[in-house]
Structure 1
Amino acid sequence: MKRHKIHHSADIVGRCKKGIIPFLLCFVFMGYGQNISVNFPNITVERALEILRNQEGYSFSVKTNDVNLRQKVNADLQNQPIEKVLETIFQNQPVSFEIEGKMVRIIKAPEKDSKQIGSTAESKKISGRVTDKQGEPLIGVSIIAKGANKGTITNIDGYYSLTVPDKSVIQFSYVGYDTQELKLGKGNILNATLQEKINDLDEVVVIGYGSMKKSDLTGAVTTVKTEDLPMAANTSISHMLSGKAAGITSVQNSAQPGGGVTLRIRGEASTGAGNEPLYIIDGFPVGGSQVEPAADNRYSDFGSRNPLNSINPNDIESIEILKDASSTAIYGARAANGVIIITTKKGREGKPVVNYSANYGVQQIANKTEMMTAEEFMTEANKFAKEQWLYNNRVYPYGNTNPSSIKDPIVYPYDAKDIKNAGKGTDWYDLITREGMIHQHNLSVSGGTSNLKYMASFNFFDQNGVVRNSDFTRYTGRLNIEHQINKIFKYGINATQSYIKSSNVPLGTEDFENSGLINSAMSYDPTTPVRDKNGDYAQSDRMTTVPNPVSMLEIDDYTQTKRLLVNAFLQAEIIKGLVAKINIGFDDQNGVRNSYIPTTTLYGKQEGGKASKSMAQQFDRLLEATVNYNFNIAKAHKFNILAGYSYQDFNNEGFSAANSQFFTDIFKYNSLASGEAARPTVASNKSKTMFISYFGRINYNLFDKYLFTLTARVDGSNRFGENNRYGIFPSGAFAWRIKQEDFLKDVDFLSDLKMRISLGQTGNSEIGNNAFEYYTAAWQQYVFGNSINTGTAKSQIANPDLKWETTTEFNFGLDFGFFNQRLSGTFEYFKKEVKDLLGYRSLKSFMEVSTVAANIGKTQSTGIEISLKSRNFTGEFKWDTELNFTRYVDRWKERNPEDELSPWQKANDPIRAHYGYLSDGVLGIDETPPASMPNLLPGEYKIKDVNGYLRDDFGNLIPDENGNVQYTDAPDGIIDEADIVLLGTYDPGFSIGFGNTFEYKGFDLNIFFYGMFDRIVNNATRGKFSIPNIRFILNRQNMMKEISERWSSENPHSKYPSGFVSQYPQPSDYLWEDAWFIRCKNITLGYTLPQKWIRKVFSRARIFADVSNPFVITPYSGNDPETDFKAGYPNQRTYSFGVDITF
């Protein structure tokens, strides 16, 4: 059998890590002062200018009628400056010229004896600057005085000067921007801010390994510009994408500083592999997780971190979201879950532009679970003790037992005097939380010449979380350079480095001795003080295994991560339209975590202090080569052909060590050897993943109406078995620009109409390294004789047939626009099937291991997406609206044959379906129990009898021909598993994003909402601290205040149950709650200062105030429908203000 191997062909990447940047930086200043060599063999001036335009990239603007373009030029110029070349071309002509970079303006030569135009009373000289709405200068803007035949253009910094008749109307026009007319007043300064044209069909969109006009797209691609995203209080770009694009859903996993956000594109169709999209940062594919060393302690769950934390959001220019197979197939086996392309800002031609922005904010807990005070806790404990006595002895209302016949009296845990004097007691939650603080500073410098452009930035971000000791600090720096060496060669460097330090609080969500900080604070006895009489941390006499929450703040646990991401390219335009490019880069991440649990804590005292140090490193290398050819055949046929090769590897290794039994807490984790544990823990790991790929794409444009795309990629990886190491992922797409047809050209109100159809395949390889191989594990312990020995054992068996998970997707899209794109939008319908799901198959019981990696099952997803944008007003008062809608359903199509479905499960149910019994209210005191629950006691939930099993006269089940149970499809008077129903799914049935932006006389207001609907969430906090667990109140566990509303003999009309365990099944819809929500994400108010106030110092200055997460509308009773899980980190509301200044 032929074996396919992945060859180690990227050693050059590692060798270049230290040398590539100095080597490329040596070219940085070569773009200045280059001379020209050119031959004009007796040709016309017009032809000479054309040669300079084609050969050297110059553009010319003729502003005089005195130029003779037919005059002959005969010269051979070698290594001459542009000024000398132009003097030769225009020899003996009455013209002059102005040079700005590679822009040349040809003007009439000044007359020595002429009177200055500006000296007359009817004319005056004006000047000013023209910028876009971000304050960036616009180069080459045409400026004319209407009716006066006088004009000029802006220079490289956007400035101009012009002598015009008094009281003129000045017109500013520029390609891609709306023409603006301003009436000249009394002053001599006239600045203009131009707005981009509403028609966005010529907008350039970044796609895989290239870019194209939006009007030429055949795939489903959504662009999000960072100018539309809130920058004030967000750690990473993924936080900002919530609700911003159709087809992408986001859920915040943890609200802690730097906490993770789950981004999903078109659902979660994979059940065994990952559902994370592929991230591309300036052409470099990065992993979907951040390097996070673990700590060897029981509180190792410190919440998820965001993989994009190390990227400064202020550096990002645009984000493209590739959703369908046509747009993602170019990334093959890693693109089944969609692709997010992040493009950072680049320099522009012109003098250096310096920008500084900063914001400061305070954070408050948005919603806090109301726990009982000491007095309330003691009162409810006594009530429950009484109620439990009545229930256990079946005294009215739970039975007919005579109270006097019971020997054991009620034992109340607290007497009335203690309750009266208890007061509020210890508010543990308040002691571990605080008002948070967040601030950041961003400084950037950009500029360049026509040959060399640069952008450098620095960012400092600091957040002190609302839970004490949860802090996040980040420093990032970036340098982007692009240098056109000559007309053939060009290179660029994109480099970013970051340093992050995170303080970790123990957020473990387990119970009792494994309780994390928040769980302990919510459950701890409010009658216990923080410290005892000796000054030590007090320990509840009944909660002996739960740590004192305040003592846990003394745990010293922090993580430091460093990241250097460098991507460089060198490209050559071999002939016109044919570009060869080499891309080389690396992503070096290092993380260190130190943790010490002192003896002042419960766990630390048991361990004699517990210290651990761990390290994790990931070094990724990338080498890519592409050839791209753009050419036309006549005017009707336009082609773009791409071919490429890619190699990328991911090298991971880690190390950890832990010890305990220290004689002092002084050294913490700095002296592991001083611990005296019988067996210190030492562990290490190392792995490597490789991908080799070959890919190609053909784009064909016929008559600018009919667009075709064919894409294919071949991927190989060492993650899969020798029989399936390579996979092929093709796709095809067609788009029809219907608006360009003759029968629609004259329909003025319709500005765009395009239909798109695509079909293709992509892959998913996220199953972990070496899942297909035979594996042995070292350091396995076994007993031999009377001793414990260490050896090796089989931990995994081989599966040489393990292969890629393959997604086949169909997409239909419709792009439309009305009234010159005043109203525009897209509609998408998709259907995808995922086959060969990656997972694990069970083995026979006599095997040494219980499972083996295998391909099992299929899923299917369908959905629709709608995006709408409207510009409601475009005058001095501007109002823009954006709306997006996403609906998808992930279902099983074929399950693992080994999985035995329960009777209530259907073969094609939603993937993340949840099932349970439905409640039918609480049984009252004088209410007769239902016939299906004859022994039900007052205060217990009634269960809905919704269905029954088909039975014979003897009560035996009657199966169908396949042996499956049959249903009566009607109540049968019995509460059993036939009454279990589908409650719903955690996945949203649909989600929306909705925003409005208003602008008026320098003021801007943005309000943005997003929401998820038709979803359910398990309120685990309620399950732990409310009625289902009320019995633990007698063990001194604190409870939510809502338990006072439970059913009891003193409160017999409550809708909540008594909390006593019934002999019947418990309904699931008490904890599985309807959790749709509409969240106001941001409200931002800004003011851009007038130029007349700031022009001597700044080119633009804006101040703003922002409120993040001001309110949420939801029926969910927990703290937050997104971030809530048992004792989870609380979500925050942030109030911030800031400045954005351009010099």
Structure 2
Amino acid sequence: MKKLLHPFFAFNSKRLFLLVFLGLGITTAFAQQKTITGSVTDINGLPIAGATIILKGTTTGASTDFDGTFSININTSSVLVFSYVGYKTQEVDANGKNTIDVALEENIALLDEVVVIGYGTSKKSDVTGAVASADLETFRDSPNTNIAQSLQGTVPGLNIGQVNSAGATPEISIRGRTSINGNSDVLIILDGIQYNGSLSSLNPADIKSIDVLKDASSTAVYGAQAANGVILITTQSGKRDQKPKITISSSYATQAPSEDLRPMQREEYIDYLNMQLYDRAFLAPEYTTPNPAFTGYFEQRDLNPNDMLGIPVNSGNPELFKDTDYNWWDEGTQTGYVMDNKISVTGGSEKMSYLVSLGLTEQEGYIKRDDFQRKSIRVNLDADATDWWNIGVQAFGSFVNQDGDQPNLYSLVIAPPVLTPYDENGDLVRNPTGTLDSNPFLGSNTEDLERKDYLFANIYSEIDFPFIPGLSYRLNFGNNYRIEKRYGASIYAAGGNGEAGKDIRFYNDYTLDNILKYNRVFGKHDVGATLLYGAMERKWDNTNAYATSFDRLSLGYNKLSLGGLPEISSGAYSDQLNYQMFRFNYKYNNKYIVTGTIRKDGYSAFADNEKTAYFPSGALGWIVSSESFMDNADFVNNLKLRASYGLSGNQTPRYTSLARLDTRASYVFGEGGTTAFGQELASLANGDLRWEKTAGLNVGVDFILFSNKLNGTIDVYQSTTDDLLYKVRIPYLTGFDEIQTNVGKLENKGIEISLTGNIVRTQDFKWTATANYSKNKNKILELTGEDADGDGKEDDLIQSNLFIGESIGAIYDYETNGIYQIGEENIPAGYQAGQYRIVDQNDDGLITQADDRKIIGTKDPGYRVSLLNTFTYKQFSLSVFFNSIQGGNNTYISRNDNALYRDSNSIFRNNLSGIDYWSPENPDGLNALSPNRPGITGTRYEDRSFVRLQDITLKYSFDNAILDKLSISDLSVFVSGKNLATWTKWNGWDPEYQNVSDNVYGVGMSAGGRPVMSGYSFGINVSF
């Protein structure tokens, strides 16, 4: 019997052909799939880690590991595309190959990174102004709560100060001072929108790049607000065609004072008191023989307080004579810390990208209750609505908590260790010494709420017109909101009667920018133009409810009506700006560059006759390395010369051009009657008040030499600020003593140098170094133009410390030359041993205010210098950053005087241990000590010069073999240090910290000083 086949296998020519075709197809497909391995190096044979290998025409790819090797599955007929930033892209046909080794050639043009220049971006090779990019990556793992701290010393000309309180923003300036009384704030632009919030609100992990506009040509696009320079902050974003990537980082940092200064304890404190009484403890005139009648300050309890000492002995406080040794400083301080946790998710598709990030930063300062907490959320979205229309949003919310009042630091230092803050019932003693000095813990034993909520969003829409190649239009609409709550209550305040209050402040602004751009290349001609029309409005208002005289404060600030003396106040302002700007860029044959800008600004705060102003600028660039005569200069990879000149402005404070009214008590109706309040003019109007204008010239050179082994930038600049905003004193017969007007002229000049070298580059070890140098000097050229004394020269404004031909930071004071010694002859009348020897400038034998003061130096630095070294060995990397500010020739000096003149209040006060006082036993002491205060005391100045080991970070990045096993894309651990060592001759807390508004320049041995923090950080970064 014949066996039947399955119908499919029955003979059929079509079916047979189908079987053969499928078999061959399957066999061929398997035959074409294979694995390619290889390496990617530079032309010197050194491996390139992180190079990208893409299967041409697809998104399939791989990347090289630390040793420059790769592996990828492809078809034999595939073409592989090899690329890496800074190198020329290569394509290799993989047909018939199992191994591919590629040597990439450096591409200098690609090494020229893209920088943000204001209302756009540009390749650095095309920039004609002084624009610098900050190195953020090196300092990502430093324990910085504020992004500004990561900029200290990294950009020449950008001057960032130190901070000494939790969450604080350091002082920021660019190229020194260009104004006397005008606004000195640097303009901050966040994602293209002016940002008027605090930098403490920004999560440093969200920041992608920071670019600094320094000269008038580059800042002119921001017109009247840009005289002090511009910082452009760009936040992170997602990537197109990337699967979701989750990045988590966490770190913990310790914080302690960079200098270990502490107040004196009991034994040293008692010696300190007795030292002040050397004129009673030892016999005149040499004060070297002990006085047998003096047995010690505390031992002479029966001494009459009204005797020859002239000071109270026991102050009525029996606690003085116990064996108490209370450590006020330890009770008010602690080991601080910073804890930082961040998480972000990035990714995108072909048509969109996204970033979502969360951050939590908690800082407890060295001073108890000096706390800072920031919670932040950011969402950045970018999407293509069509092939020619792009829309997006960049938004964040930041919620800052700074609850808690600190103990008064000055009071902690001066509190005597022989006293305690509590009485026998455990209650705080208001005035432990019986003098006016209060208990330092009164200020911290309070209810205190301080919250700041920041909300920011920039919504944008950009159209690339398909019918006009190169033409685009962008609309930016930005909003800033800030809500501040400051609530407080203290039963110890208001003379012990208690006080409480609520202060609520609202700020908001909007910015609307319309930006039209055109960029096109016509053969050798590269043309670009930007046209801007924008408007901005800022609003602020506050309401403050306050009350004193509480019977009880159990409900704190939540029941202000219980206060016997209520007070309510409120305020508000609103101002508007509008502006137009046109910028033109032209480059010919990749050699010659021309940039021109003109901006028109209008501002509501200026007078009716001066509402608007124009700010033009121009710049030239010459790429010398593209010239034929440079063909034989093989060591020159890139050389560009730049020159620019422009005008920028500075705004007057709002309402200063107007006649303003104040409210004051005006009339009392009858004896014992109520007081009526009226209004009166408080200032004169100035209808011609106008902008400050700063005209600046900048000449620079950019270069890359020796096959990218050395690159750098040098800039030399000079600017002149005219029409300085200043309150000029006028005769009081007008009813006013001053008026805001435009006077004077100020010059500002300097030099900036930045050099980066690839010193060593082997397969396993790399060493790069970056050195920065900057020097800046300002000089007052003109003031009011008056010559009241008739000497033919313009008068200085001595009361305002302003002198023609001198720096704004000039120090006009008495020159001291040591301390008068016991037995010294010719001590002037009114002075005695232990007091400063003041130089008699006119040799008349008298010390007078009019004749014996002189310019003894300046607060301004001589120069700034920094050095960053980065070492990489396999998976390890080490960065070491030194920062320094130097004086010399009486520059960068500041008062650091702790002269002690005895009186009935100060005799009890404690002080910092280790202050070098003069005494008969210590005639070489630095600081004056005397039972009496002379009429003119003089003071002592010190050089603030220092070299600081500011940042150091050691990091280990795990290799691909471990990452693959853990199914993660990146993993690194690190340890870093901040302000670990400072070399200086300055005595005290820190020479660098300053607060110009409070006239603080350097924190010395003063009892009111505050330490700068140092510490170590440990952390981990991981990405999935």
The TM-score, its normalising length taken from structure 1, stands at 0.77
1:402, 1:472 → 2: CA distance? 56
**Which deviates more from structure 2 when the two are superposed, residues 1029-1038 or residues 276-285?**
1029-1038
Offset of 1:720 from its aligned partner? 0.1
1:724, 1:1089 → 2: CA distance? 62
Aligned AA (1:1040): L
Q: Which residue of 1 aligns with 2:151?
A: 241
Q: Which residue of 2 aligns with 1:943?
A: 838
**Residue of structure 2 aligned with 1:777, choices 652, 656, 662:** 662
Q: Which residue of 1 aligns with 2:134?
A: 224
Aligned AA (2:1020): V
**Residue of structure 2 aligned with 1:381, choices 248, 273, 276:** 273
**Residue of structure 2 aligned with 1:913, choices 792, 806, 810:** 810
Q: Following superposition of structure 1 onto structure 2, how do residues 386-535 of structure 1 map, counting pairs within 5 Å?
A: 386-387=278-279, 395-396=285-286, 425-505=325-405, 517-535=408-426
Offset of 1:662 from its aligned partner? 1.9
Q: Which residue of 2 aligns with 1:954?
A: none
The answer to whether 1:1006 aligns with 2:879 is yes
2:710, 2:200 → 1: CA distance? 35
The answer to whether 1:210 aligns with 2:91 is no
Offset of 1:548 from its aligned partner? 1.0
Residues 387 and 1048 of structure 1 are in contact (CA less than 8 Å); yes or no, is this contact kept in structure 2?
Answer: no
Residues 428 and 550 of structure 1 are in contact (CA less than 8 Å); yes or no, is this contact kept in structure 2?
Answer: no
Q: 1:471 to 1:410 in 2, by over 3 A?
A: closer
1:497, 1:723 → 2: CA distance? 40
Offset of 1:1067 from its aligned partner? 3.3
Offset of 1:251 from its aligned partner? 1.7
Matched residue SS, 2:222 = helix
Residues 139 and 154 of structure 1 are in contact (CA less than 8 Å); yes or no, is this contact kept in structure 2?
Answer: no
Q: Deviations over 1:1108-1139 (max 9, x none)?
A: 11111111101111235452432111211011
Q: Which residue of 1 aligns with 2:938?
A: 1067
Q: Which residue of 2 aligns with 1:728?
A: 614
Matched residue SS, 1:774 = coil
Residues 108 and 637 of structure 2 are in contact (CA less than 8 Å); yes or no, is this contact kept in structure 1?
Answer: no
Q: Which residue of 1 aligns with 2:537?
A: 649
The answer to whether 1:1135 aligns with 2:1016 is yes
1:479, 1:1116 → 2: CA distance? 46
Matched residue SS, 2:426 = coil
Q: 1:934 to 1:213 in 2, by over 3 A?
A: same
**Residue of structure 2 aligned with 1:1111, choices 981, 993, 999:** 981
Aligned AA (1:920): N
Offset of 1:784 from its aligned partner? 5.1
**Residue of structure 2 aligned with 1:881, choices 769, 781, 785:** 769
Residues 375 and 420 of structure 1 are in contact (CA less than 8 Å); yes or no, is this contact kept in structure 2?
Answer: no
Q: Which residue of 1 aligns with 2:996?
A: none
Structure 1: which 5+ residue stretches go unaligned?
1-108, 131-135, 144-150, 182-187, 291-306, 507-515, 949-970
Offset of 1:373 from its aligned partner? 1.3
Residues 459 and 477 of structure 2 are in contact (CA less than 8 Å); yes or no, is this contact kept in structure 1?
Answer: yes
Residues 879 and 952 of structure 2 are in contact (CA less than 8 Å); yes or no, is this contact kept in structure 1?
Answer: yes
Offset of 1:242 from its aligned partner? 0.7
Offset of 1:535 from its aligned partner? 1.9
The answer to whether 1:584 aligns with 2:477 is yes
Q: Which residue of 1 aligns with 2:514?
A: 625
Matched residue SS, 1:937 = coil
Offset of 1:1007 from its aligned partner? 0.9
Residues 373 and 424 of structure 1 are in contact (CA less than 8 Å); yes or no, is this contact kept in structure 2?
Answer: no
Q: Which residue of 1 aligns with 2:784?
A: 896
1:470, 1:915 → 2: CA distance? 36
Aligned AA (1:988): P
Q: Which residue of 1 aligns with 2:215?
A: 324
2:140, 2:84 → 1: CA distance? 29
**Residue of structure 1 aligned with 2:442, choices 524, 542, 551:** 551
2:440, 2:104 → 1: CA distance? 58
Offset of 1:378 from its aligned partner? 2.3
Matched residue SS, 2:137 = helix
Matched residue SS, 2:558 = coil
Matched residue SS, 1:664 = coil
Q: Which residue of 1 aligns with 2:263?
A: 371
Residues 222 and 321 of structure 1 are in contact (CA less than 8 Å); yes or no, is this contact kept in structure 2?
Answer: yes
Aligned AA (1:627): L
Residues 395 and 403 of structure 1 are in contact (CA less than 8 Å); yes or no, is this contact kept in structure 2?
Answer: no
Residues 141 and 153 of structure 1 are in contact (CA less than 8 Å); yes or no, is this contact kept in structure 2?
Answer: no
Matched residue SS, 2:860 = coil
Q: 1:206 to 1:390 in 2, by over 3 A?
A: same
Q: 1:373 to 1:354 in 2, by over 3 A?
A: same
Aligned AA (2:117): I
Q: Deviations over 1:558-591 (max 9, x none)?
A: 2111111111111111121000111112111111
Identity of aligned residues (%): 29
Q: Which residue of 1 aligns with 2:9?
A: none
Offset of 1:462 from its aligned partner? 0.7
**Residue of structure 2 aligned with 1:269, choices 156, 174, 178:** 178
Q: 1:692 to 1:819 in 2, by over 3 A?
A: same
Matched residue SS, 1:988 = coil
1:572, 1:124 → 2: CA distance? 43
Q: Following superposition of structure 1 onto structure 2, how do residues 660-809 of structure 1 map, counting pairs within 5 Å?
A: 660-677=548-565, 680-765=566-651, 767-778=652-663, 780=665, 782-783=667-668, 785-786=670-671, 787=673, 788-809=675-696
Offset of 1:778 from its aligned partner? 3.8
1:425, 1:819 → 2: CA distance? 67
Q: Which residue of 2 aligns with 1:839?
A: 726
Residues 717 and 726 of structure 1 are in contact (CA less than 8 Å); yes or no, is this contact kept in structure 2?
Answer: yes
Q: Following superposition of structure 1 onto structure 2, how do residues 980-1019 of structure 1 map, counting pairs within 5 Å?
A: 980-1014=853-887, 1015-1019=891-895
Residues 177 and 194 of structure 1 are in contact (CA less than 8 Å); yes or no, is this contact kept in structure 2?
Answer: yes
Matched residue SS, 2:171 = strand
Offset of 1:597 from its aligned partner? 1.2
Residues 525 and 1037 of structure 1 are in contact (CA less than 8 Å); yes or no, is this contact kept in structure 2?
Answer: yes
Residues 891 and 910 of structure 1 are in contact (CA less than 8 Å); yes or no, is this contact kept in structure 2?
Answer: yes
Residues 156 and 351 of structure 1 are in contact (CA less than 8 Å); yes or no, is this contact kept in structure 2?
Answer: no
1:501, 1:743 → 2: CA distance? 62
Matched residue SS, 2:580 = strand
Q: Deviations over 1:78-135 (max 9, x none)?
A: xxxxxxxxxxxxxxxxxxxxxxxxxxxxxxx99543384589xxx86669999xxxxx
Q: Following superposition of structure 1 onto structure 2, how do residues 30-109 of structure 1 map, counting pairs within 5 Å?
A: none
Residues 373 and 423 of structure 1 are in contact (CA less than 8 Å); yes or no, is this contact kept in structure 2?
Answer: no
**Residue of structure 1 aligned with 2:233, choices 342, 349, 353:** 342
Structure 2: which 5+ residue stretches go unaligned?
1-22, 42-47, 65-69, 92-97, 295-303, 787-794, 994-1001
**Which deviates more from structure 2 when the two are superposed, residues 692-701 or residues 1047-1056?**
1047-1056
Q: Following superposition of structure 1 onto structure 2, how do residues 138-149 of structure 1 map, counting pairs within 5 Å?
A: 141-142=53-54
**Residue of structure 2 aligned with 1:816, choices 692, 703, 728:** 703
**Which deviates more from structure 2 when the two are superposed, residues 719-728 or residues 1094-1103?**
1094-1103
Q: 1:412 to 1:1052 in 2, by over 3 A?
A: farther
Q: Which residue of 2 aligns with 1:608?
A: 497
1:138, 1:1002 → 2: CA distance? 13
Aligned AA (1:885): Y
Offset of 1:1060 from its aligned partner? 4.1
Q: Deviations over 1:369-390 (max 9, x none)?
A: 3322122222332342342687
1:562, 1:1008 → 2: CA distance? 34
Offset of 1:980 from its aligned partner? 2.8
Cα RMSD of the aligned pairs, angstroms, is 3.7
1:862, 1:320 → 2: CA distance? 21
**Residue of structure 2 aligned with 1:256, choices 152, 160, 165:** 165
Residues 378 and 419 of structure 1 are in contact (CA less than 8 Å); yes or no, is this contact kept in structure 2?
Answer: no
Residues 474 and 499 of structure 1 are in contact (CA less than 8 Å); yes or no, is this contact kept in structure 2?
Answer: yes
Q: 1:452 to 1:409 in 2, by over 3 A?
A: closer
Offset of 1:428 from its aligned partner? 1.3
Q: Which residue of 2 aligns with 1:1081?
A: 950
The TM-score, its normalising length taken from structure 2, stands at 0.85
Offset of 1:906 from its aligned partner? 4.5
